[in-house]
Amino acid sequence: MKKREKMVKRFAALMSLMCMILATVPNLSVQAAGMRALEGSEIHELVSDYMEGRKNAIITGNVENLKDVAVMGIVNDEITHKEVLSENGISISDMSYQIVEIAIEDTMTFVTLNELVEYVANGATENAEIEHNLFIMNDENGVTKVLSDKYDEKKLGFQSCSFVTIEDEAANKTAKMPRIADHRSELIAVAQGEIGYLEKASNSNLDDFTANAGSKNYTKYGRSSDICYSEVCFMHNRHEEF
């Protein structure tokens, strides 16, 4: 229960910071970065490239195409995905998908799709349908990429790094938002308290400021924001743009 409460408080603080900055400079960062909403054809093309990149990564182990259309957190996630398949003696012979819904909010794009996967184990095949929820936006270099992909692959017991359970989503939605004007000094104090935090080499000791230091994009900020362990500077820029 304490872990759940801690997560809810972290979510509320993050959302408060986003809303405060949005109210102060709503369009400055977006205009400066030249960001714009995607057209329908661009969304379909990016999703097609992304799903094909995932397919290559999972079936052949080649992640180069995936790197072009997704942040490194997702790339690392699919490398782990392939390892889990191998450990369980399972391979994938085919993957296809169908887009269910596309929602566009300013420069952010949300895509829900159903993926059909054909597994092969001990000479037998089995099909499964997996729901994906993609979040698409510009990365820190202004390149449009998939920033998070939430899915739960029950056949393997594998969950993507940005997957959140229904219970945790409900807790987030019911968390009371504090009054922004009354908490600015507290938010600034929290930000100042993060000075000195080091990027991690793996998904370990994320809450420790100096332990497991490295350059693999793992941070507690990526874990809290569901953007799948993106670059540290990118996480900071995303806060500013919101």
At residue 218, the 3 state secondary structure works out as: strand
Answer with the residue of higher pLDDT: 182 or 206: 206
pLDDT, tens digit, for every residue of 165-205?
666 556 555 555 554 455 566 666 677 777 777 877 777 77
pTM of the model: 0.60
- Structural domains of the chain, with CATH: 2-31+178-241 (no CATH), 36-164 (3.10.450.50)
Cβ neighbour number for residue 144 with a 10 Å cutoff: 18
Kind and range of the H or E run holding 221? helix 220-225
**DSSP for residue 60:** T
pLDDT of residue 221: 67
